[in-house]
Amino acid sequence: MNVIIIGSGVMGSGIAIESIRAGFNTLLYDINLDALNKAESYIHKQLDKAQSIGKITEEHKINALKNLRFSHQFEELTGDFILEAIVEKLPVKQELFAKLEAQNNADCIFATNTSSIPITQIGRGLKHPERLVGVHFFNPAHIMKLVEIISGAATDSSIAEKAFEWAKKLGKTAVYAKDAPGFIVNRVARHFYVESLKALEEQVCEFEQMDKLMRSTGFKMGPFELMDLIGVETNYSVTQSMFEQFQYDSKFRPSRIQKQKVDAGFHGRKTKKGFYTYDA
């Protein structure tokens, strides 16, 4: 099966790592050449790290990299399984899948890594929305085990099943989810971020102390560290989307502090500055 991943950010690159490690011929696409160069460096770095701690052998790393190609040419995006990991904006995703549908055959499966936008909405306007399924990874995708498989109103059950089996072949723990706001994880975990931001707004404590507290209770990362890793703007978009889907329930209200970070371009690790400042 030929796999195409659209979007070479941290999420897309992480999914590509898992795909090539599982032996799938994988094309990583981005419209931005500089982003592709950064993705290539990131993938090599992560595979080198995995080898250094004994997770993979050198032979496995070499073979995995043979499965990987990069492209910024849209016309090359024809394959068996195409997954997007791009900006969390509904019109952009709808336009992308419409273009993909026009240049791929009837057997191609389309997948979206959206964190919160309903699969049914993304598929609206497609000639064959039954071929679209949600395949939601979690950051960092090459480490986190869970993958949500989400069926929209029109998704064919056989397509969801094929996506489920693909995720399992990547060594992931796949679960089926309904096309409900936030699916499973983001619905449950949204308040990990929202309540932490409210506490910051109310000056309960500094964000560094909040992260320290959450780590001390067993979390691998605190909420502000995790927002910086995921992308402050991505996290904000998910909260905004869920706020709207839950009819503007105040418990999902996006944070003014987070919005200010987004407006300033402080998106986290990718921009060297978010809640924290990064040297590299």
Active site residues: 136
Strand, coil or helix: 163 = helix
Helix (H) or strand (E) holding 102: helix 90-103
At 219, phi and psi to the nearest 5?
A: -70, 140
| CA 103/CA 79 separation, integer angstroms | 10
The H-or-E segment that residue 37 falls in is: helix 33-52
What 8-state DSSP symbol labels residue 137?
A: -
Please report, as a single letter, which amino acid is at residue 79. Answer: G
Q: Beta-strand (E) ranges in 106-218?
A: 109-112, 132-136, 146-150, 173-177
What is the separation, in whole angstroms, between the first and last Cα of the chain? Answer: 36
171: left (phi over 0), alpha (psi -120 to 50) or beta: left
